[in-house]
Amino acid sequence: MARDLVCSVVLLVVAAGYYYLASGIASSALADEVGAAGLPTIYAFALGTIGLIMALQAVVKGLLNRVEVGEAVDLGLMLRRAGGVLGIGIGYLLIVSVVGYMIALVIVLAAMLIYFGERASGRIALAATVGAGLFWILFDRLLGIPMPGIWGL
């Protein structure tokens, strides 16, 4: 019940925030009858209604004691582990425009390998370097997509 109740609150908050932003959409002389804010307003109300129904369902389930018993999980640990992978991704975004695609990719590959349990070693450095080189050849050379600042240049 608690999980669904939290979800419904999140949906209501998103709906309210979206409605607030939709009501601030500038009007235009070119606007049609529906307007740029027309459908977003409907979507906001739809999401709000869904959130309310979910909240009601959660409360009714709770009152009827039909609480679903799931597998016991350590949510904090799960979020921390997932957060580590996201952190590596954010780290890539922060360094790629400074050190360039190749070096940033070597770092990401090595970090992911270590994060997923490989022991830090020369083998990892070699795999990360060869892997980054292959990606660079594929995307930058073969497909002709200019990747950010190769070698920091």
Residues in 83-122 at the binding interface with other proteins, rule: CB under 8 A: 84-86, 88-90, 92-93, 96-97, 101, 105, 108-109, 112-113, 115-118
Site for other proteins in 50-79 (CB under 8 A): 50-51, 53-54, 57, 73-75, 77-79
Torsion of CA 26, 32, 34, 38, to 10 degrees: -20
Nearest distance from C-beta of residue 5 to other proteins, angstroms: 11
In this complex, which beta carbon is closest to other proteins, that of residue 63 or of residue 144?
144
Nearest distance from C-beta of residue 136 to other proteins, angstroms: 9
Distance CA 87, CA 112 (A): 11
Distance CA 115, CA 88 (A): 9
C-alpha separations of 75 from 27, 46, 72, 101 in Å = 45, 30, 9, 34
Q: Which of 13, 20, 23, 46 binds other proteins (CB under 8 A)?
A: 46
- Contact call for residue 152 and other proteins (CB under 8 A): no
Nearest distance from C-beta of residue 100 to other proteins, angstroms: 12
Q: Where are the alpha helices (DSSP H) in 24-121?
A: 38-63, 75-99, 101-115
